[in-house]
Structure 1
């Protein structure tokens, strides 16, 4: 079951320059790390008192998952991430309903303890969604 919008992902070729843009809006970086399975660097930005984030995503190697997006569309909105309570069941439900899975199984995400999986909702929205599951988060 979807619990909430967790973050909005924005791809960039230059994460440091994009971080400067987040600073212009007084957003604070709350976490940053590389996600090896996707070949990207990430940083998460939030407004004080809000748990929803903007995630900056930049390639760190030639086979990075975001190169196709950057080549076709350039920097900008990449995905909307939804926190779910059971990523395995929710990923299977999306597939049963006709979503096109990018990830057949959840992978390690860009924050500690986070499991993620991506899916396309189809051409009518053009939306890439990310399911995120923090497991037993308090």
Structure 2
């Protein structure tokens, strides 16, 4: 039995979005698979969130290898504070998530059809990876990595 004082695994990463359908389409295009949707509300949800009157729609997305999941959340109530969807990559907080892909140029082109924009440009890091940052749903930065060599 493992040490009960350390996390056993990363279950999922939650991303609050303003357009749940667009976020699901974006991450589906990236290759994640829908795992289920639900609406959550009630006293326990309020207690967990530290808010009153929470009602949110949740969509779970799973990576093809089955080891990673994203929880996409659209809060219907209460309204959240305004955020800067163009916050630069060095802004404190969760700034990006990385996905390894087989063909970075193809993925960039497909995600651009879902509103993604390159933050910088596709660049090669030594002889190991081609990398880029894309701005996706709710301004989140998605890093793509194509292994080379």
Q: Which bracket does the TM-score occupy, shorter chain normalised? A: 0.3 to 0.5
What TM-score results when the alignment is normalised by the length of structure 2? 0.43
Larger Rg: 2
What TM-score results when the alignment is normalised by the length of structure 1? 0.46
